[in-house]
Chain A
């Protein structure tokens, strides 16, 4: 399977803390995306990082990519209760997204 692995599987933090989740994948990629899913509903695209980029920022999100280690991380700074969700990395093949196993983040007030 091309599916990526994410860790941790679950993460519980307090509001204001930072949350870091990691994604490892198996094949060479052109780019990697991160998506968020609230309560088993639709996924929302957060950020895309290309294979020639090492770091990318969007608001409170920071994504890194290490193609030599086939890994990526997503950092959410100053977390809020509204950040409670599942987060998936996704590698892109032709016409396909292959999602990682996901990290369930719980942010407590």
Chain B
């Protein structure tokens, strides 16, 4: 299995809602990532989990809360989002967090619209 899966594919939420994005991989990868991508822009790193521990938080607002329940799963909990948070949220994984230049495998993304 060489796939990263993400659910849901699309999500519409109001500013008072709480929702979660889910990411799963079964490649035995020990690093997992969340990226945010706005239209016609490159992906921007949000969080990195290394061996199930949060290792990088790119100064992301607290209304985004990541969670790594086990080595295969990564969640992103959303609360009190703003319309400007509407974007494509991409999950990725790589084999060894400590190695430089590891290839990252991306999921198809969740397209989020905040109303």
Residue numbers of A with Cβ under 8 A of B are 3, 30-31, 33, 35, 40-45, 48, 50, 88, 92-102, 104
Given contacts A40-B109, A95-B56, A96-B48, contact A45 B39 (CB under 8 A): no
A42 engages B107 (CB within 8 Å): yes
Q: Which residue of chain A has the shortest Cβ distance to B103 in the bound complex?
A: A45
Complex interface: chain A residues within 8 A of B109 (CB): 40-42
Minimal beta-carbon separation of A65 from chain B (angstroms): 13
Chain A contact residues: over half helix, strand or loop, or mixed?
Answer: strand
A92 to B90, CA, bound (A): 18
The number of chain B residues touching the other chain, given as a range, is 20 to 34
- The winner among B92, B103, B109 for most chain A CB atoms within 10 A is B103
**B43 located at the interface, meaning its Cβ lies under 8 Å from any Cβ of chain A in the complex:** yes
Is the CB of B88 closer than 8 A to any CB of chain A? yes
Specify which of B92, B103, B108 is in contact with A48 (CB 8 Å cutoff). Answer: B103
Besides A33-B103, A95-B97, 7 new A-B residue pairs in contact (Cβ under 8 A), listed by A number: A31-B101, A33-B101, A43-B43, A95-B50, A96-B56, A102-B40, A102-B41
